[in-house]
A and B are shown apart, each in its own frame.
Chain A
Amino acid sequence: MIRSITQPKAEKEIDLLLSGSGRIFIIGCGTCVTLTRTGGEPEVRAMQEQLSGKGKLITGHLVVPVACDNLTTDALAEYGQQIDQADALLIMTCAFGVQTIAGQLKKMVVPALDTLFIGKETAVGEYNEICTQCGTCIIGETGGICPVTSCHKGLVNGPCGGTDSGKCEIDRRKDCAWTMIYNRLADLGRLDSMRRLQPPRNYLGEPTPGKMILTEQ
């Protein structure tokens, strides 16, 4: 399953964003951020304690089941009074959740997390970014591994000179995408696919911001 991968913002950044707001309502989410332990029930409670310790009044807290879902509106309605009393909402969800909530309530929203990437859980507690939704998929020629995402430089014609022992020059924990692609294509007897010179990429796949409207045929 794909997950929105987040990490907590630095405490002093949150303090700065909340300065001038004495009463805070905190919102977490029961899905991705619960899994990554960045905005589930325990983290929301810890944040409540942390902010209380700094003299903030916490008007209430809520962990919605799926913050990015439109049903979040109903969940928020139940807490109307506590939310109304707050000067700001501190939202411990990914940016999808923050924006969904911001669209429902006339309140300043403060994200407590940075959203890093849309990732796949590849092992317990390990998440990897494997697709950046570029709009011009080339994994049919790379053995099903995306170099646009998995290569730090997004190279489509093979490895750069920074690859070493199958790892990336920026982080020894990160695999070199092109070593993985090479190995897979070699296993499949399809290295011819890697030998093909790829033209410059088409960045016009879907100009930012992406938008799709389904129409009836």
Chain B
Amino acid sequence: MVSAFQKALKSGKFVVTCEAAPPKGTNLERMAHDIELLKDKVDAINVTDHQSSVMRFPSLGGALLVKEIGGEPILQMTCRDRNRLALQADLLLASYKGIHNVLCLTGDSIMLGDHKEAKAVFDLDSSQLLGVVRKLEAGKDISGNDLDGGVSFCAGAIVTPEADPLEPQLIKFEKKIEAGAEFIQTQAVFDLDRFKKFMEYAGQFNVKILAGIILLTSAPMARFMNNNIAGVFVPQDLIDEMASAPKGQVLARGIEIAGRMIKRIHEEKMCDGVHIMAINKEELVPDIMSEAGLI
């Protein structure tokens, strides 16, 4: 079975994905509102899995909500909280419920979240989880037992093109592709000349690459990311550009920058699409797309 997102990836069009973060609690109103607003504008919506190790409504539940509303979900699955039994079981449930896109992640450290004393699992890693997806598709669990009723997934992973040092990341990137990744959503990129260089390398693999775009919301937010988020590097000129925005227009400046970057990636055909991360401001994704000339 081919998912709508997989079809979009194969079509050769410039693919756009974004994120929807499940709430802390059961009030899904805002998330549903965002999904409603985004579902016809993007090719798929990633549903995050206890993002930053903060306990929330589950990604599988959020992906089901996307599906109910008529959107195309990408289920994010980390290896932090579930062992191989639980991960396989959730993949069975996801596929059964019509969720056919999965992004396989290792997951942030428990220590970065709001349940710091919890036991971290990491029974599998991201590349092994990709292997699990492919094994289930072949009709077996990873112990080799037959499945009664199968699954199908368009499976992806992430890469950090600005990691330091980069080479170990690239080895892992290649292992993810070997394990079965069809698409890659990158960590945020800001320095597009550097990203172009990365694509000269990544472009030689049989995998679709969506460049990660984070919406800058202020100069302090950009500085915070530089100091606290591994693999994210906002160049000084962009921080200055954010800082110079008149009061009340800072967010508009962020949208302008994100739109401008996407436009350049699109026009120069750097990669297969973009993954827009407008953290906590998902409702602004259409504005960013409009700024980029995509809608």
Q: Interface of A with B (CB < 8 Å)?
A: 152-166, 169-170, 178-179, 181-182, 186, 191, 194-195, 197-201, 203
Contact = CB atoms under 8 A, between A and B. Distances in A.
Contacts of A203: 123
Nearest to A181: B168
What 7 pairs across the A-B complex have the smallest Cβ distances?
A158-B172, A164-B230, A182-B168, A153-B122, A160-B106, A157-B127, A162-B230
Nearest to B79: A153
Contact of A156 (B108, B109, B125, B169): B125
B158 A195 contact: no
B231 interface: yes
Interface stretch (B61-69, B92-100, B174-182, B216-224): B174-182
B122 A155 contact: yes
Contacts of A165: 164
B58 interface: no
Given A195-B175, A197-B178, A179 B106 contact: no
Given A157-B125, A162-B109, 20 more contacts: A153-B109, A156-B125, A158-B127, A161-B231, A162-B108, A163-B163, A163-B168, A164-B163, A164-B164, A164-B230, A164-B231, A169-B230, A170-B109, A170-B112, A178-B168, A182-B167, A195-B174, A195-B175, A197-B178, A203-B123
Contact of A194 (B128, B171, B231): B171
Contacts of B174: 195
A161 B106 contact: yes
Nearest to A183: B165
Contacts of A178: 168
A158 B168 contact: yes
Contacts of B107: 153
Contacts, number: 94
A160 B109 CA distance: 10
A28 to B, nearest CB: 29
A155 B230 contact: no
A195 B108 CA distance: 23
Given A166-B165, A197-B178, A199-B128, A161 B112 contact: no
A166 B230 CA distance: 11
Nearest to B173: A158
